[in-house]
Each structure stands twice: as C-alpha cells, then as structure tokens.
C-alpha cells in the first residue's frame, strides 16, 4: 500500500452507484479506496479502483488480529485501518454516506477553531443547528442542558477530526422516532474539544492522522451501536495525554440511510443510555502516561477498565493487544 491518503469503508453490498462513485473520485484524487467485506459479501465483488478484501482475502493477511476478529461484525473495519497504516491520512465513512464536494478537500491537522468555555459534556451538534438535536451516544439526561458559550478562535493540532452528515445525521433511535428528519447542519466554524470536554463521535465521516492511528481500534465484544461511540470515548481520553483536541467540523457528506429497524437500534443503544456517563467517569479517573509513545499501553489500560465495568467482554483484551502489535508493525514497516 502506498502513502497516499486512504478512504476506508466496510460493506456487504454488491457493487452499486455509491461505491462506484467513491472509487471513481478516489482515483481522480490519488486516494486509496479500501473496502472491507464480510461473510455476506458477494464473492465476485469488483469495482475498478476499489481494493476489496473479502473474508478469504482477509484471512491471508499477516495481521494477528484477524484470527480473533468476529465475523459478521462492523469491527472488521479494523483490517482496513491496518492496510492503510502507511497513509498520509485516513478518512472513514459508510456505504450510505454520499460525499459533498468539500469531502475531497485536502486534510490538515492544524485547524483554527473555537472551544467550549466550560468543561464537561458538550452537545456539539447544537453549535451547527438550531434544532434540539444530539449525537448518538450523548447522555439522554443532558439533552436539555443549556448550550455552552464558545471561547475565541485559536489554532489547534487536531489529528482526529469528526465531520458531520446532512440529511440523516448520526442520531440515536429515540431521536429518529420522535423528531423530524431530514436535517441539514449550518456552516458553523469548527469546534475543538480539549481535555475535560466530552462528546461522542462516530465512524461515518472521520479523519485520522498517523499519530492517532492506534486510536482507530473498534471494539468487537460490545453493543453493535456502541462500538464506534465507546471507541470515541477511549480516543478522547487518550488524546488528552497528547494535548490533542478532537475537532468537529461542518458536514462534508450527506446520508441516504440504509434500512434500519429502529426498535432494534433502540435495544442496541440501551447499554449506552445506561452506561455512557459511567464509562466517561471511569476513563476520566484513570492515571495515564502522557505522550504519543504511550498510546498503545494507554489503550490497553482503557479497555481493561471497560472490561472491569462489564460493558465490554473479556474477549476484547487479546484483540486490543493484537491490534497494538499489528498497527505498530504496520506503521513501522520499511
């Protein structure tokens, strides 16, 4: 794999216009397009300009994590991250998100942004919309809290950047059942969350730079609707040790959402409704080592904490350790 920027998607769909469009535009932009399949994926999948890895292809790769990753699970996206470990930057999305023109802009780490004036939970969506909207994973008992004011604009080093999604934003099942969609976000300036601020972010339009690649890890042994949300809490906590705010910026994709059973989504989100605040408190209480050199050890300690809380299964720990080894080796290959 070359060091061009990479786009990572996981999908079980047959070739379609969305994936074909990504392949075409990635080729024009000199980006790698890596598509990770799963058991239901078509065995003869092919799109020109798309590097597709079905289950059989994945099992031939030299990553120790592969034998432990469950099949039929979104966390197989981890394989795509490992394949892209040499990339200048990685952007990830899903197969029902369509890019706006701004999606193809070059990514930079140093961004001018505003920060909340106070610490604590921050409903970033509210800075970009006048609707009472909240991101999936935000504590339900806080959705009516007043919006914090923002401090003056400053430049920050942000190797993790969450872009929003128009039309069908990433909201929970409760919002979808009681509020109106579609919804488009406004053109607000970026917001950066430094240490002490929390907001869930997802895997649907997120940019990562190499120093943060170890934080890409998606857990397998937890609620399906929480895998990227709990990843985001771990990533935010460890980012504090590196003095990296997590950036949120305007929508650069719009979602034409795949068919979902909202009551099933609701059931899968219940562990988040019940435990997200406790997870954040436990992560905040951890004593972690400062600096990027300690991210791997800190990642393991964070997942040990989630296992102790009972929200992630004990089977996760060998996976996390294998991930740290695999990603460090993949990034350091000659």
Q: Three-state SS across 105-121?
A: CCCCCEEEEECECCCEE
Q: What is the pLDDT of residues 110-148, one digit of tens each?
A: 999 999 999 999 999 999 999 999 999 999 999 999 999
Q: Is the pLDDT of residue 156 over 70?
A: yes
Query: What's the chain's average pLDDT?
Result: 96
Banded pLDDT at 157 (limits 50, 70, 90): very high
Return the pLDDT at 1: 74
Q: pTM for the whole thing?
A: 0.97
Q: What is the pLDDT of residues 286-323, one digit of tens each?
A: 999 999 999 999 999 999 999 999 999 999 999 999 99
Banded pLDDT at 259 (limits 50, 70, 90): confident
Q: How far apart are CA 78 and CA 330, in angstroms?
A: 13
Q: What is the pLDDT of residues 271-287, one digit of tens each?
A: 999 999 999 999 999 99
Q: What is the pLDDT of residues 208-244, one digit of tens each?
A: 999 999 999 999 999 999 999 999 999 999 999 999 9
Q: What is the pLDDT of residues 17-61, one digit of tens each?
A: 999 999 999 999 999 999 999 999 999 999 999 999 999 999 999
Return the pLDDT at 258: 82
Q: Is the pLDDT of residue 333 over 90?
A: no
Instruction: Print burial letters for 16-26: b (CB count within 10 Å at least 16), e (below 16).
Output: eebbeebbebb
Q: How far apart are CA 171 and CA 202, in angstroms?
A: 10
Return the pLDDT at 334: 46
To the nearest 5 percent, what fractions of the chain are helix, strand and coil?
A: 40, 20, 45
Q: How far apart are CA 305 and CA 46, in angstroms?
A: 41
């Amino acid at each position: 794999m070359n060091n061009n920027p990479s786009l990572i998607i996981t999908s079980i769909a047959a070739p379609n216009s969305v994936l074909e469009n990504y392949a075409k535009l990635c080729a024009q932009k000199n980006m790698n397009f890596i598509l990770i399949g799963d058991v239901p994926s078509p065995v003869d999948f092919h799109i020109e300009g798309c590097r597709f890895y079905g289950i059989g292809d994945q099992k031939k790769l030299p990553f120790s994590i592969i034998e432990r990753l469950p099949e039929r699970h979104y966390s197989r996206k981890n394989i795509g991250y490992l394949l892209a470990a040499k990339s200048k930057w990685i952007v990830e999305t899903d197969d029902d998100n369509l890019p706006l023109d701004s999606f193809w802009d070059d990514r930079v780490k140093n961004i001018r942004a505003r920060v909340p004036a106070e610490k604590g939970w921050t409903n970033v969506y509210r800075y970009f919309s006048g609707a009472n909207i909240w991101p999936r994973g935000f504590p339900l008992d806080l959705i009516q809290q007043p919006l914090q004011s923002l401090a003056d604009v400053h430049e920050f080093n942000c190797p993790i950047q969450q872009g929003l999604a128009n039309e069908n934003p990433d909201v929970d099942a409760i919002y979808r059942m009681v509020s109106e969609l579609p919804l488009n976000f406004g053109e607000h300036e970026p917001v950066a969350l430094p240490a002490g601020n929390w907001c869930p972010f997802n895997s649907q339009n997120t940019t990562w730079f190499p120093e943060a690649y170890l934080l890409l890890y998606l857990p397998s042994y937890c609620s399906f609707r929480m895998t990227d949300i709990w990843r985001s809490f771990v990533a935010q906590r460890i980012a504090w040790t590196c003095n990296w705010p997590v950036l949120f910026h305007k929508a650069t994709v719009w979602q034409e959402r795949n068919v979902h059973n909202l009551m099933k989504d609701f059931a899968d989100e219940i562990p988040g409704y019940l435990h997200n605040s406790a997870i954040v408190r436990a992560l905040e209480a951890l004593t972690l080592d400062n600096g990027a050199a300690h991210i791997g050890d800190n990642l393991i300690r964070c997942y040990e904490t989630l296992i102790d809380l009972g929200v992630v299964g004990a089977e996760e720990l060998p996976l996390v350790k294998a991930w740290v080894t695999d990603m460090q080796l993949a990034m350091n290959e000659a």
